[in-house]
Amino acid sequence: MNRRLLYILISIFLLIFSPLALVAQVQEQSEQLRILVWADLDAFPGSFEETGEAKETEPKKKEGQDQFQKMFGFAIERSKQVAPFLLNGMINGWKFEYTPYDKRRGVKEYWEFDEIKPFDKTMNPIEFHDPEAVEGKLLSRVYCNRTKQQQVEYKRWTSIVHPHVKGVGRGSVEKGFDGIKEACSMALKDAVREYWRTLEKNKPKEISGTVLLIRDPRIYVRNGQYVVDLDFFLETDRIIKYTQF
């Protein structure tokens, strides 16, 4: 078999089976979401944040609960911010509007990112399991069930009609939770930009759409920045092209 024919066969195989493999990997998220969330045990030096009561954490004894809250109050509160934000991206999705930078036309870059709707803890209760302090961080396994209607909507998203995109973003650790949100926003912009670069030879005037966060969100710290590596299903609502060049 010559090299060119082998390359063609491999390309056909990847085109057919890669989307199916991705769908199989995310099917396990159809009913219950399970993600790993971590938070620093202490606030960023020089900052102060009040801590709330960890209602989702249920130690067997009140004494143990009070001691746990005293030791890990900041990390618990941060986890209670991060978990619903990420789960909302996986259940309801995020929306965006993007105008690429165009030096020739004098167009500045514009990017807007937001939740499609607020996360409803009554509809989707969150459970924190097996909290563990590791290397200055509190790790928690977070569980959340989809409603029946949300399961139906998720099946629609998992259709291979929706392209799989991925991106990496960064945000300042000094900003705390806002830094994590900023990093997620930048990861989504990176994913949208790189995807449309492969499809459009010329920069579009405007792109808007929605995404569903899939797989486990990967968040870590490097050089004083939160770095997030995220995967999405993308649904483009509108793309406007320039009529003059």
Residue-level pLDDT, tens digit, the chain, 245 residues: 554 454 444 444 444 444 444 444 455 789 999 999 999 987 654 433 333 344 444 445 555 556 656 678 899 999 999 999 999 999 999 999 999 988 888 899 999 999 999 999 999 999 999 999 998 899 999 999 999 999 999 999 998 889 999 999 999 999 999 999 999 999 999 999 999 888 877 788 899 999 999 999 999 999 999 999 999 999 999 999 887 55
Q: What residues does 19 pair with on adjacent strands?
A: none
Which tokens is 106 given? 């004098």
pTM of the entire predicted model: 0.80
Amino acid at 11: S
